[in-house]
Chains A and B, each alone.
Chain A
Amino acid sequence: MKKLVTPLLLLSLLSAFPFSRATAQSAGAGNPTETLIRNATVLTVTKGTLTNADVLIRNGKIAGVGKGLKASANARIIDATGQYVMPGIVDCHSHSMLDTINEGTLAVTSMAHTRDVLNPTDVDLYRELAGGVTTLNLLHGSANPIGGLNTVVKIKYGRPASEFIFPGAMPGIKFALGENVKRSNNPNIPGAQRRYPVTRMGVEEVIRDAFTRARDYKKTWDEYNASVKRGEKNLVPPRRDLQLEPLVEVLEGKRYVHSHCYRADEIMMLINIANEFGFKVKTFQHVLEGYKVAREIAAHGAGGSTFADSWAYKIEAYDAIPYNPAIMMRAGVVVSVNSDSDERARRLNIDAAKSMRYGDLTEDEALKLITLNPAIQLGIQDRVGSIEVGKDADLAIWTAHPLSVYSRVAITMIDGDIFFDREKDLAQRAELAKERAQLEQAEPNRPAAGGRPPQAPRGRRPSHDDDDVEQGDQP
């Protein structure tokens, strides 16, 4: 198959600049406004699969899907013969690009916001792009019954943090039930009081108490606003409480609840509290026993965002089965498969494929687990999650069918701009090695006694992994 640009040509272009900075690939201007991906197998997810078809992108949006599309003269042409185009993967549970994950000192930390701690230079973002992921739901950790606020981002690696924010995504909040919450009471100071709660009873009470206070807070402000409207004078506004305001938004249906949970009893507990206070849980996260209460989850209207086949890493994960996504889906729950891991986020395509083996999902149903369904769960399905005219051009081009273990991502595109290009990456390696050698020789990089610089990179550094509460969470 024809490559985008021959490696030789690229190398000769690069060698013309003796000490150029090999930067993240789409860090600035110069991206064409029109792109035509030609002759691919297009997995639209919602409208079937088209072979030998084209995708036309204009100004960041999908402008056409079909055979024999025409582009204007200065469009970028990507020949994708033999390759597969699918929507960018939406990872519904991620802790990438966060300088800190847990504010674990209080049981209710709804005033904490992930948006304050975004780190756009996290290299795991690039690795996720290389796995075909384009959108992340950045969640607070699972140390608290009521945790902090989330941020939905597009992985525009190389751009400043403000450009990552997903426009129009519904705001959300993280809840957590079960062992992580009970266990994150390790005292930091010997002899210090353990943070309440330490049991599942306490977890429920904390949530009920928080919503009771939020309900009272809302009433206070509603009364104040009504008095103002009536024209009363000399009024003192109530104190603004950043902890309770997001919970009021939950009560008013303006903020989604994403709740980490495992056991069937705690899933039912939260459904009951939500019904009691008149709000809906948007998604149950992990929900490894969701198959036991799938009908109840569906009746409540919540989605489930789960693992493909992780299990038994904690007591509460012991009853997990790999048929969980399929069973919940058949019961009418909107199901997604997530990573909760910088490492697993690179191979969500394989995790989705597992549900074809365990549960007999069709190809499109499996693809939905990582595209349209998480988009629905985040309220962004009008913009991403499938390849349809009018949606954002968040796509990945794969070298084989994405549900195959042999497939790799060739290009990842967000809003029509390329943020990962495998060939460009490989072509840049030599130049990067040269730049590294030069940097190692620079004076600030040479230790005082003139020691030998280290050798070339060897092995990968460990990345944030798994669902557990971070040990010694670095603030």
Chain B
Amino acid sequence: MPRIRLFSALFILAALSIPLATLVVAQRSAIDTYAITNARIVPVSGPVIERGTIVIRDGLIVSVGDKITPPADARIIDGTGLNVYPGLFDTNTNLGLPAPSPVPSPTGGPGGFLQAQLRAATTPPAPGPNSTQPPGLQPEVMIEDTIKPGGNEIENARNNGITTAVSAPRSGIWMGQSALINLSGETSQQMIVRSPLAMHVGFTPLRNGGYPGSLMGVFASLRQMLLDAQRYQKLQEAYERSPRGMRRPDIDRSLAALVPVLEGKLPVIMYADRQREIERALDLAQEFKLRAIIAGGQEAAEVAKELRDQNVPVLLSLNFPRRTTSASPDADPETMRTLRSRVDALKTAAKLSGAKVRFAFQSGGLTNMSDYRANAAKAIENGLAADEALRAMTLRAAEILGVSDRLGSIETGKIANLTLIRGDLFDRNARVTNVFVDGKPIEIRATPAPAAGTGTAAAAETRITMAGNWTINVDVQGQLITGTLTVRQEGGSLSGSMQTQVGSSEFSGGTLTGNAFHIVTTMSIQGQSVQLTINGTIEGNSLSGTVASPFGTQTLTGTRQPGN
């Protein structure tokens, strides 16, 4: 008997120390105590612990250190060979928002933000039925009211190490109020860390033919509504002080929503990429003494002095601009300014750091979320200190968003959001192995390994070929967009180009594994760079799958063109 018991004990021990991919997604189980042992811990708020232990209980970090004994009831996670970082932040997303509706949009997307002009095709989450303002000018709209847990986008972000995100409204001028969410939880209430987090302002006019229809009108309406909100506040206060003898002022939820903004209690996140866009946003903030945060910030380095002097932080987009197609000889050449700005965008983070401007990173419309850390690595190659980059994804992000007392670093008492990585955070070959959100481990679904070198000779002979020209259709909010996909294939590697009615692009580095293909490309649509992630399968001469973009996820179908 003792031998069997010993054997079972050994077996259990062995099972427990099998790393993480076998860990079951924790439901409402009794297990809420975990200990990550023997890991390299990067707290960010303090020095690195080369070999240490983190104990988690009831969603919080209970202890961190190199001499900690895990409690008896803790589920042990062996962190040998792993780096543990605070859960990564993405400070500008639409995670959790319902997909854009097929109804033609009344509003344009936030201006100045390179991706956001394309998010026009959506009605705001909850157009107030009793609002005095048209959709797009309704600051009372709150993300908290329509956010939903689960879904592919949230899972995709988590698989890449992100545990906390700002979920922001998609479009409008006064776009609405965002929420800070943890990327897990079964109800929206469980997800929300703080709401409202900030007021969001975009600078793109309404596209329904109504006022404002131009950028001049946008600024005029922002200004007029802020003036009206100032007056509204005074009137309401005067009435509350002594209502007798005073005519009752009308209630106005839109103006009421701007009062915390005027008082500086709610920060304002303003979308601006170009130097002049950032300057205009700063001027507006100064005019009304708003607590501003710039989102996008591609040319923020040009305005670094003003940003520092006015103490305005930047949510810097890692969706670096790329050239999307090689031009035909008849096309106008790109301007030197455009060429320079693409190269300079990589250096912005380093320059902001040198100028002591506070910044955090955001994905800026990336759909291939492995680019999030990869692009941060590019910023490091272009002069940003590695620990500044880490801070921009963790503690600095938490500071800028006002939650550094509960998130952003590995410290006792903080929320147990952790990202475990085999390899350094910014190493191209590193893999996220575990993610803890609110103290619960979440299963990581790894992306398929590249096809090169796998499979038998027989499989190679019968390898499906995707090479050739395909006629493709993408269903975008009920509208069918057609185009051609031209693919060159070498083994399991795909490259080629895509031409559609809305834009063209080229791609490389795509993969074909069995009959499943994965392509990431950046397309120029209406002058803006949009990243598309295409996943699908091939059956004979047809393909089907999905296209993920800032719009959301759309269905893709296609047929091989004859003669291929």
Contacts and interface: CB of A to CB of B under 8 A. Distances in A.
B227 A242 contact: yes
Given A240-B231, A432-B336, A435-B336, A444 B346 contact: yes
Interface in A230-278: 234, 236-237, 239-242
Contacts of B216: 100, 103, 109, 112-114, 116-117, 140, 148
B324 interface: yes
Give the residue among B204, B340, B509, B522 with the most A Cβ atoms within 10 A. B340
Contacts of A455: 329, 333
A345 interface: no
Contacts of A21: 340
Given A105-B210, A444-B342, A475 B215 contact: yes
Interface residues of A, number: 62
Nearest to A442: B343
Give the residue among A114, A187, A445, A457 with the most B Cβ atoms within 10 A. A445
B554 to A, nearest CB: 21
Interface in A170-199: 187-189, 192
A473 interface: yes
A281 B210 CA distance: 30
Give the residue among B213, B337, B522 with the most A Cβ atoms within 10 A. B213
Contact of B231 (A118, A123, A237): A237
B80 interface: no
B505 A448 contact: yes
B322 interface: yes
A455 B332 CA distance: 9
Nearest to A160: B279
A113 B340 CA distance: 30
B331 interface: yes
A103 B212 contact: yes
B336 A118 contact: no
A192 B206 CA distance: 15
A120 B322 CA distance: 24
A448 B209 contact: no
B228 interface: yes
Contacts of B208: 188-189
Interface string B310-338: 00000000001111111111011111110
B545 interface: no
Give the residue among A21, A241, A461, A475 with the most B Cβ atoms within 10 A. A475
Contacts of B346: 444
B279 A453 contact: no
Contacts of B321: 444
Interface in A98-135: 99-106, 109, 111-114, 116-121, 123
Interface string A436-465: 100110101111111111111111010000
A105 B209 contact: yes
B135 to A, nearest CB: 14
A455 B333 CA distance: 7
A162 B279 CA distance: 9
Contact of B522 (A111, A162, A234, A448): A448
B342 A473 contact: no
A104 B224 contact: no
Given A121-B337, A445-B342, A116 B326 contact: no
Interface string B215-238: 111111001100110010001001
Contacts of B328: 454
B238 A452 contact: no
B223 A454 contact: no
B334 to A, nearest CB: 7
Contacts of A376: none
B302 to A, nearest CB: 8
B228 A239 contact: yes
Interface string A376-416: 00000000000000000000000000000000000000000
B508 A236 contact: no
A23 B345 CA distance: 18
B155 interface: no
A161 interface: yes
A233 B508 CA distance: 73
Contacts of A189: 208-209
B325 A451 contact: yes
B561 interface: no
Contacts of A109: 211, 216-217, 220
A439 B340 contact: yes
Nearest to A454: B327
A57 B205 CA distance: 46
Give the residue among A112, A162, A237, A447 with the most B Cβ atoms within 10 A. A447
B231 A239 contact: yes
Contacts of B238: 234, 236
Contacts of B205: 475
A457 B223 CA distance: 42
Contacts of A148: 216
Contacts of B333: 454-458
A242 B221 CA distance: 9
B213 A475 contact: yes
Interface string B330-373: 01111111011011011000000000000000000000000000
B331 A102 contact: no
Give the residue among B208, B276, B279, B342 with the most A Cβ atoms within 10 A. B276
Contact of A236 (B235, B507, B509): B235
Nearest to B504: A447
Contacts of A451: 325-326, 506
A461 B342 contact: no
B276 A119 contact: yes
Nearest to A21: B340
B220 A446 contact: no
Interface in B263-309: 275-276, 279-280
Given A432-B336, A444-B323, A444-B343, A105 B212 contact: yes
Given A447-B324, A451-B326, A103 B231 contact: no
Given A237-B231, A449-B507, A105 B339 contact: no
B280 A116 contact: yes
B497 interface: yes
B279 A112 contact: no
B461 to A, nearest CB: 27
B336 A436 contact: yes
A106 B224 CA distance: 16
Contact of A161 (B210, B276, B335): B276
Contact of B219 (A113, A432, A454): A113
B520 to A, nearest CB: 9
Given A123-B335, A449-B506, A454-B334, A161 B279 contact: yes
B215 A100 contact: yes
B276 to A, nearest CB: 6
A235 to B, nearest CB: 10
Given A242-B223, A445-B323, A112 B217 contact: yes
Interface string A140-158: 1000000010000000000
B329 A448 contact: no
A296 to B, nearest CB: 33
B511 to A, nearest CB: 14
A116 B276 contact: no
B100 interface: no
Nearest to A460: B332
B521 interface: yes
A192 to B, nearest CB: 5
User: Which 9 interchain pairs have the tightest Cβ spacing?
Assistant: A451-B326, A188-B209, A112-B216, A449-B506, A105-B213, A454-B327, A444-B342, A111-B220, A116-B219
20 contacts: A99-B215, A103-B212, A103-B216, A105-B213, A112-B216, A114-B216, A116-B280, A117-B214, A117-B219, A118-B276, A161-B279, A189-B209, A240-B231, A445-B342, A447-B506, A448-B509, A453-B326, A453-B327, A454-B327, A475-B215
Given A103-B216, A445-B343, A455-B329, 18 more contacts: A21-B340, A103-B211, A103-B212, A103-B213, A105-B217, A112-B220, A161-B279, A187-B209, A189-B209, A236-B238, A435-B336, A442-B343, A449-B506, A449-B508, A454-B331, A454-B334, A457-B333, A475-B214
